[in-house]
Amino acid sequence: MKEFKIAQPKSLDQVTSLLSQKNTDYALMAGGTDLLDEIKNKIIAPEVVIDLKSVPDLSTIKMDKTHVSIDAMTCVADLAENPIIRENFPVLVEAALSLASPQLRNVGTVGGNLCQRPRCWYYRDPDTICRKKGGSRCFALRGRNRYHAIFGGGMCYIVHPSDLAPALISLDAEITINGLEGKKNILRLEDFFTLPQNNVRKENVLEARQVLSEIRIPLPKNGSKSTYYKFKERGTWDFAVVSAAISGVISGGVFRDIKIVCGGLAPIPWRLKKAEDFIKGKNLTEEVIKQGAKEALTDARPLEENTYKMGLVEAVLYTAISSMI
Amino acid sequence: MNKGKMKKGKTNTFTRRDFLKGFGSGTLGVAITPKLLAQKAESIQTKAGEVPVYAKKQIKFTVNSKAYTKVVEPQETLLDVLRDKLSLTGAKKTCDRGECGGCTVLLDGNPIYSCMYLAIRADGTNIKTIEGMAKEGKLHPLQQAYIDKDAYQCGFCTPGFIMASEALLKKKSNPDLGEIKKGLSGNLCRCGNYTKIYQAVDQAAKAGRS
Ligand SMILES: Cc1cc2nc3c(=O)[nH]c(=O)nc-3n(C[C@H](O)[C@H](O)[C@H](O)COP(=O)(O)OP(=O)(O)OC[C@H]3O[C@@H](n4cnc5c(N)ncnc54)[C@H](O)[C@@H]3O)c2cc1C
Ligand code: FES
Ligand code: FES
């Protein structure tokens, strides 16, 4: 691996102060399970890696009267095993256990999972300078695009790789972003992610001087149910081909409220609003669920090799929702 | 980048590994003690105080119940340090990308991929590798079970599998097949020996309970 130095700050203020210094190329490291891959593959070459693990007290999960808060440095394994999370948010536990492998979940963090970079093979190839890396083309558009986006593409067709993001968005999570001198910004996680048309180099609105510090989820309402279904190509670890996080309130066999957020479909976690609108208030028959998916798919623009994802969306929604009733 | 050739000239038993090393590097390494290597932290003055920045750092950690003090560079992975600086070559460098599990070791009891973990972050931790499994010349029940069940062909994945199995059984002494598969889902065997690997873990679990 290419050489770098490591900075070991003791507070988030020190982290953001470091990040705001000009003329040094910094990279933030949480668990490092994605960052080290980027460095080894020569996608990035930071001069200084900032070790977030040296900042104390950044990995607790707490509950107050209205919310559960998760510190950004909580590792995925701890998230999945936490009794508060297990009791309140099945979708989050299922998403956590679906991702990577036991070894990676022991090290990879929740914050790192939300901020991880895309897995597109053109982006991860050291010798390809695609648009996301500052080049002038997205090679997926006319190239090999089996795993690429069917929604929200255009400038670039990556799919967002995170499994936790769809789950957390379906639960209406908010995040706290720390900026310089203790300045904090709270926004909905749904608004954190941004499409390539807004900034093709990034997947979220985090600025260079900022760090994600906390995730907050409102406690579930009575009658809430949630689930995560992830379709992958192998039995063992893999990124989602298509996944769906579904959270809502069910009574009398009907969703009074429903949120459907998918992985594997778009450069950001993708909400199927048309499916939500169609399914809400109706008896949950196979036709209703599949028609809901079809409504949402009217906006899809598949590429040459990924039309199969259309059918998968229907199947994934049907499998996920029918497991909830 | 570390060259992995430094080794104190001390061994009197000549192992297969020594042969391979000598063969690969051609010359004997020069002994360099950690003290010779400067490791003072620079620091960066920020508005929120001084932050230490290391190009080298002395870390202390325990590996297989033995305490070590080593100077490491930030980009060195725990796997590189174990293999090249401590000559613990049981953990294998296979994919070097967190994808295969060949480098699995236990860090404070939890299985991790040592290829995706910076050594500098192992400061103050307790590591266990395959070399720490056998005790007083007696194989660990898991090692014995892997042999009894023929749970390997080339054996390259075996140290990683055994460490993942050890972590699994520490957490769940009586895993069913599904739990064994999940516990070992971060390890790949190119020879495709999964069925026998699962049987070995099952045997070790039963032995542990009897
Ligand atoms: C083999 C393999 C399989 C994987 N499978 C999956 C999978 O199925 N699903 C999935 O979702 N992920 C998967 N991952 C990706 C990754 O391991 C996990 O997403 C993990 O949770 C990332 O967390 P980390 O702490 O290691 O991130 P890091 O590598 O430390 O960071 C990732 C990125 O986020 C930035 N970052 C980290 N923390 C913060 C913060 N607090 N504020 C601002 N920026 C930050 C870093 O600068 C870096 O760019 C896989 C990885 C590998 C190697
Ligand atoms: S060598 Fe570390 S996971 Fe493959
Ligand atoms: S025994 Fe050969 S890779 Fe597993």
Domains of chain A: 224-322 (3.30.390.50)
| Residue B9 pLDDT greater than 50, yes or no | no
The ipTM is: 0.95
List, in order, residues 6 or more apart from A105 with CB less than 8 Å away: A75, A76, A77, A80, A96, A97, A99
Confidence of residue A24 (pLDDT cuts 50, 70, 90): confident
Answer yes or no: do B128 and B205 share one domain. no
Query: Measured between alpha carbons, how far apart are the two ends of chain B, in Å?
Result: 48
**pLDDT, mean over chain A:** 97
Interface contact flag, B51 A18, Cβ < 8 Å: yes
Q: In this structure, are B127 and B171 located in the same domain? A: no
* Residues in a beta bridge with B71: B58
pLDDT the model gives residue B65 = 97
pLDDT reading at B139 higher than 50: yes
Partners of A236 on chain B (C-beta within 8 Å) are: 185-186, 188
Q: Which of residues B77, B99, B132 is at a domain's end?
A: B132
The answer to whether B120 contacts A6, with C-beta atoms less than 8 Å apart, is yes
Burial of A176 (0-12, 13-18, 19+ CB in 10 A): middle
Tell me whether residue B72 is in a domain: yes
Q: Is the pLDDT of residue B71 over 60?
A: yes
Tens-digit pLDDT profile for residues B45-70: 988 999 999 999 999 999 999 999 99
Q: Name the strand (E) or helix (H) holding A92.
A: helix A90-98
Side by side, which strands form the sheet with A254-263?
A224-231, A242-251, A254-263, A270-271
A112 shares contact with chain B (CB less than 8 Å): no
- Does B185 contact A236 at a Cβ distance shorter than 8 Å? yes
Quick one: CA dihedral A159, A52, A173, A62, positive or negative? positive
**What is the pLDDT at residue A182?**
87
Tokens of A105: 């979940």
- Residue B12 lies inside a defined structural domain of this protein: no
- Mutation target for B interface from A2, A3, A6: give the one with most B CBs within 10 A: A6
Return the axis-axis angle of helices B194-209 and B158-171, rounded to nearest 10°.
Answer: 40
Chain A contact for B182, CB < 8 A? Answer: yes
- Same domain assignment for residues B163 and B115: no
> Ligand 2 center to residue B186 CA distance, Å?
10
Whole-number pLDDT of residue A23: 82
Whether A5 and B120 lie within 8 Å, measured CB to CB: no
B49 and B79 share one domain:
yes
The confidence band for B20, taking pLDDT boundaries of 50, 70 and 90, is: low
- Specify if B165 maps to a domain: yes
Q: Say whether pLDDT at B33 is over 50.
A: no
Closest by Cβ to A181, choosing from B47, B118, B183: B47
- Where does a domain end: B132, B154, B185? B132
Q: Which of the listed residues A33, A237, A241 should we mutate to test ligand 1's pocket, taking the one with most ligand atoms within 8 A of CB? A: A33
pLDDT at residue B8 in the model: 43
pLDDT tens by residue, A47-74: 999 999 999 999 999 999 999 999 999 9
Please report, in angstroms and rounded to a whole number, the separation of the first and last CA atoms in chain A. 50
Cα angle B188, B99, A73 (rounded to 5 degrees) comes to 130
- pLDDT-derived band at B114 (thresholds 50, 70, 90) equals very high
User: What DSSP line would sit under A95-145, residue for residue?
Assistant: HHHHSS-HHHHTT-BHHHHHHPPP--HHHH-TT---GGGT-S--TTTTS--
Do B114 and B161 fall into the same domain?
A: no
Q: Are A317 and A325 in contact (CB under 8 A)?
A: no
B124 touching chain A per CB within 8 A: no
B204 lies in the same domain as B167: yes
Nearest CA in chain B to A24: B44
- At what angle are helices A308-322 and A286-297 packed, to 10 degrees? 140
Cβ of B98 less than 6 Å from ligand 2: yes
Average pLDDT, chain B: 87
For position B92, which CATH number holds? 3.10.20.30
Query: B106 with B147, same domain?
Result: no
- Considering only CB atoms, B186 lies closest to which of A8, A51, A103, namely A103
Angle at A265 between CA A260 and CA A270, to 5 degrees: 40
CB–CB contact A102 B48 (8 Å): no
Q: Residue with structure tokens 């490491």? A: B72
Residue A185: which of A194, A175, A198 has the closest Cα?
A175
Mean pLDDT, rounded, for A105-119: 98
pLDDT at A84 over 60: yes
Instruction: Tell me whether residues B51 and A51 touch, CB distance under 8 A.
Output: no
Amino acid at A266: A
Q: What percent of chain A has pLDDT over 70?
A: 100
Q: B108: domain range?
A: 45-132
pLDDT value for A273: 98
Nearest-CB residue to A14 (from B46, B101, B186): B46
Q: How confident is the model at residue A135 (pLDDT cuts 50, 70, 90)?
A: very high
Q: How confident is the model at residue B7 (pLDDT cuts 50, 70, 90)?
A: very low
Range with lowest mean pLDDT among A30-44, A221-235, B29-43, B118-132: B29-43
Chain B nearest C-alpha distance from A35 (Å): 9
A3 and B73 Cβ atoms separated by less than 8 Å: yes
Contact A110, A215 (CB under 8 A): yes
Does residue B96 lie within any of the structural domains? yes
Ligand 2 centroid from CA A315, angstroms? 34
Q: Can you read off the two tokens belonging to residue A218?
A: 């409102």
Q: Could you tell me which of A323, A139, A307 has the C-alpha nearest to residue A245?
A: A323
Instruction: Return the pLDDT at B41.
Output: 76
Domain limit, last residue, from B98, B132, B166: B132
How far is Cα A144 from Cα A120, in angstroms, rounded to an integer? 10
Residue A44 has pLDDT above 80, yes or no: yes
Domain count, chain B: 2
B108 and B169, same structural domain?
no
* pLDDT surpasses 50 at B5: no
pLDDT, residue B39, reads 56
Which candidate, A269, A247, A263, A99, places its Cα nearest to that of A192? Answer: A269
Spatial distance between the Cα atoms of B121 and B107, rounded to a whole number of angstroms: 11
CA of A36 to the centre of ligand 1 (A): 10
Smallest-distance ligand from the CA of B116: 2
**Residue B169 is inside which H or E element, if any?**
helix B158-171
pLDDT of B11 > 90? The answer is: no
Please give the torsion angle defined by the CA atoms of residues A278, A279, A281 and A285, in that order, rounded to the nearest 10 degrees: 130
Residue B151 Cα to ligand 3 middle (Å): 9
pLDDT digits (tens, 9 = 90+) for B167-202: 999 999 999 999 999 999 999 999 999 999 999 999
